[in-house]
Structures are given as C-alpha cells and as structure tokens.
Structure 1
C-alpha cells in the first residue's frame, strides 16, 4: 500500500512501506525540513517517532539517519535518537570558503562554454530573482539558488553536487541571521555577473562572484559574532581576487 507522508513532514512525497526507496524519501524530506528551519537546530529526533510518522519500520529510518549524519545535519545519540546539528560560526566560514574557492573555479570553466541560449536563460533567472523579492525569503531563496547553479552549470557533475550541498547548508543560516533587507542586497550584482559572462570576461566574473559570496558570509559572521576573525574565508578570497582588486 502506498501512503502519503503525513502533514508537517510532507511535500507530496510518497513512502511505500518495505520499498527500497523509503530511506531515500525520508532522508530527502527530513533534510529539506532541517535546511528550511521547519525542524530547528537542537531538535531531538527518535527513530521510533519518525518511523511512526512515516508509517514504516525503523530500518529505513535508521538508514535515513545515517545519511543525515553523513550530511552533517544530525548528531547520533544513544537509544536510537539523534539531535539536529547546532548552528556554528566555524561552519559558516568553512562553507563559504569552500563556495568562494569552488564556485569561482566552476564559473571560470563555464564562462567560455556558455551558449547564447544559456546566457539568455541567466538573464531570465535574474528577472525571476528580482520578481521574487516581494514574495519573501523562501521564494527568493529558491530562485536565487537556481541562478547561482546556472552560473556554474559547466563545472561538472561532481563539482555541482558539492556546490549544491554547500549552498543548501548556507541557506539554513541565511534564513535565521539575515533579515528581509539583507538577503536581497546582492541582487543588483546579478545582472553584472551575467554581463561579464556574456563578454567572456573570466577575471571580472570570478572576482565579482567572490565578492558577492564573501559579502554574504561576512554579513552572517558579523551578525553571529562580530569579534570572529574569518581567516579561512579571507584566505579563499586571496586565492581568487587579484591583489589590486581586494
């Protein structure tokens, strides 16, 4: 029998008890809820409770927990329980340092490979992001993420998988620490990023993207702990941005 995941846990996913994809579906749904803040940092999850909510045995839940732990989103505890990972300023800095270094590299590869149709699509994505701002953070974040993934689309499947995961993890922090004005401040740079891609100017595009990402990171870090010195992030920026442009 096919069951719809219960309200509060759902998003239209289906769980088939005993099926091989049950763990994957539960992992995907719980992951999305943790990243969106629906399941807050510090929340306790029990295998028994989750199995009851999804109407499955503890086997697929145990596997889903293992995958969430691999993602760094939960920490296993005793008695088949886990706790959603707390928010960490060190993680913010680490994630953004990875994003600066790797997204600029993927953009450098993508710029000479963009087709005219892909560049036109990026322009449409810019307009979509701007149109989403009055709709609130969730809609803006979805379209903003799509735009940034479009910028690095020729970076290769393995690189894109890592970039997607790092971006999703930083969204968890942006939802909490950046207010309604903060998350839209960088939007004015999106058209210029596309313009640099269209002119095939790799240096200008990667320099702007590094600044764009690091500004968001430094805003988050300053909100979380103004005394924190982001040495790792600054090292990543130095690797990308020419000395005269810092």
Structure 2
C-alpha cells in the first residue's frame, strides 16, 4: 500500500472515503479485493470508526460490498449488470444534454473545452491512470448546465461503477483515438447549439464505449 496521505481539512471520514474511492477507481484495488479495516486504519493512522463509515459510504455508491466471512470487498459486477448501467447512462445522459445545451453559457463551453484539452494531453502522454476520471469530468461539465442535480447525482454514481472498467478498456482496446474524436464531435455540436446532433452523437458514443468494453471484458473473463 502507498504511504499515508496528509489530512488537513474536512472530516477524517470524508478524507478516507475520497482516498479509497480514488484508489478503487484507479484500479489500485481490483474487483474482489478484500478491504481489511484494521489494515486501512493502520495505513491512514486513524481509528477503525472512520474507516468503517467510509466503507459504508462506498457500499452505498456501489463500489464496495459487504460479504459474510470476508467483510468489505471491492464490488464485482456481472457483464449483464455492466451492460445495464450503460443502457441507463445513455437514457439519462442524453436527456441531461438535451436540457443542458440551451442553457450553456460561454463560460460553460470554455470549461468543457478546457477539460477536453487536458484529456487530449493525457491521451498523447499515455497517462492511463487519468483517463477514467478525465472522461467523467468531461461528461460532468457537459451536463452541469442542465439544472438537474438529482439526475446528475445518479449519473455520477453510475460513473463510479463503470469508470474503472472503461479506463482499462481504453488502454487495452487501443480505441483512444475514437473516444477522443467522438468527444470533440459532441463538443462542437454543443458549441453550435445543435441539440439533436449532439444528443445523437452522445448516444452513439455511449453505445460504442459499451460495445468495446463488453468485448474486452468477455475476452478477459473467458
């Protein structure tokens, strides 16, 4: 395990939760990995109480599950469950984008463009560890103007369950060029205010991502 981070703000539970979430999403803890409370508490130099509370929060997000005789483990998803999450993503995200585009300000578009530039740089640098989080941030900034906070919250939770798989898929499939191209096409349609085109491109993007991911996972699990 990595060295204990320095905690300076927020509650200890918040900080342990954030750090564990980031490590799960980055793939440091693979699916099925047992998260022992005493070991985590020792690593962060905290009591087991905030660790237990952090794991319970991650359980609510779907990243961790509690099993008899094992305790907390990194959640494992079946192929059918992953496919279902992408179907829900397409329905909700397309609806969010449809609401967001008419409300996008120049500042909103600049924010999306800025994260897209960082995303492009990470692809060129081959910085796999950042792809999943940057992808989530790109989509999140697209949808924020929608003024649909509850739907956004659901999308973020679904993202927590798929980002670790999608990140690995991009690295293994070699489809970073396609993903990057599709992101730029979606952004340009948003910038032009073309709602139907942008929503259509987003739907195709999510479908392509799901198909590529499912193919990779089926191969890996065989």
3-state SS in 1 of match to 2:144: coil
Partner residue in 1 for 2:144:
153
Question: 2:34, 2:70 within 8 Å by CA — same for their partners in 1?
Answer: no
- Distance across 2 between alignment mates of 1:111 and 1:49: 47
Question: 2:132, 2:166 within 8 Å by CA — same for their partners in 1?
Answer: no
The change in CA–CA distance for 1:145 and 1:13 in structure 2 (over 3 A counts) is farther
3-state SS in 2 of match to 1:153: helix
Partner residue in 2 for 1:77:
67
The gaps in structure 1 that reach 5 residues or longer are 1-6, 227-246
The change in CA–CA distance for 1:175 and 1:189 in structure 2 (over 3 A counts) is closer
Give TM-score scaled by structure 2 length. 0.85
**Where does structure 1 differ by over 6 angstroms across 4 or more consecutive aligned residues?**
none
- Distance across 2 between alignment mates of 1:160 and 1:204: 21
Partner residue in 1 for 2:204:
211
The correspondence for 1:144, drawn from 135, 147, 165, is 135
- Distance across 1 between alignment mates of 2:62 and 2:110: 36
5 Å matches for 1:73-152?
73-78=63-68, 81-136=71-126, 137-152=128-143
- Distance across 2 between alignment mates of 1:88 and 1:139: 24
Deviation at 1:180, TM superposition (A): 6.0
Question: 1:51, 1:58 within 8 Å by CA — same for their partners in 2?
Answer: yes
Question: 1:35, 1:172 within 8 Å by CA — same for their partners in 2?
Answer: yes
The change in CA–CA distance for 1:206 and 1:40 in structure 2 (over 3 A counts) is same
Map Cα deviations across residues 110-158 of structure 1 (whole Å, 9 max, x no partner): 1111112322443343333222212222234343332211211123222
Partner residue in 2 for 1:8:
2
The gaps in structure 2 that reach 5 residues or longer are none
- Distance across 1 between alignment mates of 2:100 and 2:3: 37
Question: 2:7, 2:15 within 8 Å by CA — same for their partners in 1?
Answer: yes
Number of residue pairs matched?
216
Question: 1:152, 1:160 within 8 Å by CA — same for their partners in 2?
Answer: yes
Q: Which has the larger radius of gyration?
A: 1
The change in CA–CA distance for 1:199 and 1:15 in structure 2 (over 3 A counts) is closer
User: Which structure has greater helix proportion?
Assistant: 2
Partner residue in 2 for 1:202:
195
